[in-house]
Amino acid sequence: MVFTARINSDTRAKVYYLRNVKGFSTRKVAELCDVSRESVIRISRENRHTQAMRLSSQSNHRGRPRKLTSRQIRLLVRSLKSLRKEQGNFTAKRIMEEAGIRESEISVRSVTRYLNEHGYFYLQARKKGLMRNDDLQKRVDFAKYCRNNYPANFWTDHVSFYLDGTGFAYKTNPLDQAKAPKGRTWRKKSEGLKLGCTGKGRKEGTGGRVLKLMVAISYDKGVVVCEPYEKMCGTYFSDFIDRKIERMFEIADKGVGRIWIQDGDPSQNCKKAMEAMSRVCCQLLKIPPRSPDLNPIENLFNVVSQTLKKDAINQNITKETYEEFQERVIQTMKSIPLEYINKLIASMYKRVNLVIASKGNRIKY
């Protein structure tokens, strides 16, 4: 009788055990394992190392056993999705904490490898706001108009204030969020613009509640208004103009021009907003789309954001209510030195010329 089928690893192990360990005869082993006597002799003569190598090569799970169970892996993926909705930016170590896996048992590197196997990678967050050719032309046209019609001191002595809305993400644990690396998110390569994967825009990537503020700065006056709001719309902004803008012009005290600058947000440039502006007899200078580098107040927001993170680390703020966070943000905004705000506003003349020189491309500001 000729045996041509390949003997599997289980049968080989049984043959080796019965012949070499139990001491059964070759004929008896051949009958019990349903193989030829020649196969029994050949397998029984293999040394332990050869047998182990053969069993390892035929096994589906090579190398060391997995440290994480299938349940733990499911917990990791579940925790990752949960953290994306709540925090946006977090590390693999933070995922382990959420899943209840201790670093003393499983290394961060192992967890990262398992997440990669399931398609999740620590990738750069997608950012919006890419400019087109017509955006470049609008920026150049705006800069040339300003250079040809306004003197160098226009931005400091004639513009009453620079206005914009901003948002700061509220976290119950500011220290944890401040230490998390920015600009990268745990996501699949196909999830570029989904919730939890973006790093700019309407703050989809931050998760949680957002403190929204309407802020205005003026040369030699600093922050002239810092008001929280819930939703930016034409109704709110027209009401804001009726309530605040007259007093803002008085504080700025820049003469009879009553000129102010803001971006092209549709809610701030709708029909209701324009009607409110006409009631207070002011002149709006609107910057081109996708041009945060032409509004110095954007730099102020960045400084405030960095200051909040440093304070969370230096003061070890591990727990904070939304009301406490709001007060801390407003106080930080108002405490920015006047000299720094003046420096930002005074750079506008240089910014305009740099936009022209770069043919509309974004500048270093």
What pLDDT digit, counting tens, does each position of 290-315 carry? 888 899 999 999 999 999 999 999 99
Q: Are residues 114 and 234 in the same domain?
A: no
Whole-angstrom distance, CA of residue 83 vs CA of residue 119: 17
Please give the tally of structural domains in the chain. 3
Cα–Cα nearest to 85, from 219, 226, 218, 196: 196
198 within a domain of the structure (yes/no): no
Instruction: Say if residue 34's pLDDT is above 90.
Output: no
User: HSE on the CB side for 36, CA within 13 Å?
Assistant: 10
Helix (H) or strand (E) run with residue 15 in it: helix 9-16
Residues 223 and 110 in one domain: no
* 49 and 76 inside one domain: no
Does the pLDDT at position 281 exceed 80? yes
Indicate if 301 and 341 belong to the same structural domain.
yes
109 CB burial (10 A radius; 0-12, 13-18, 19+): exposed
Q: What are φ and ψ of residue 222, in 5° steps?
A: 75, -140
- Determine, yes or no, domain membership for 193: no
Measured CA to CA, the distance from residue 177 to residue 171 in angstroms comes to 7
Q: How far is CA 346 from CA 33, 157, 159, 221, in A?
A: 91, 10, 11, 13
What is the span of the domain harbouring residue 307?
150-170+209-357
pLDDT at 3 over 70: no
% of the chain beyond a pLDDT of 70: 85
Give residue 160's pLDDT.
Answer: 92
> Distance of CA 113 to CAs 90, 118, 236, Å?
16, 9, 49
pLDDT of residue 1: 46
Q: For 209-232, how does the pLDDT look when each residue is reduced to its tens digit (9 = 90+)?
A: 899 999 999 999 999 999 999 988
pLDDT bracket for residue 51 (50, 70, 90): low
CB 76 within 8 A of CB 52: no
Q: Residue 201's pLDDT is what? A: 45
- Say what the pLDDT of residue 63 is: 59
What's the whole-number average pLDDT of the chain? 83
Q: What is the mean pLDDT of residues 260-276?
A: 87
H/E run at residue 31: helix 26-33
pLDDT for the residue numbered 221: 93
- Please check the confidence at residue 36 and state whether its pLDDT lies above 80: yes
Q: Is residue 100 part of a domain?
A: yes
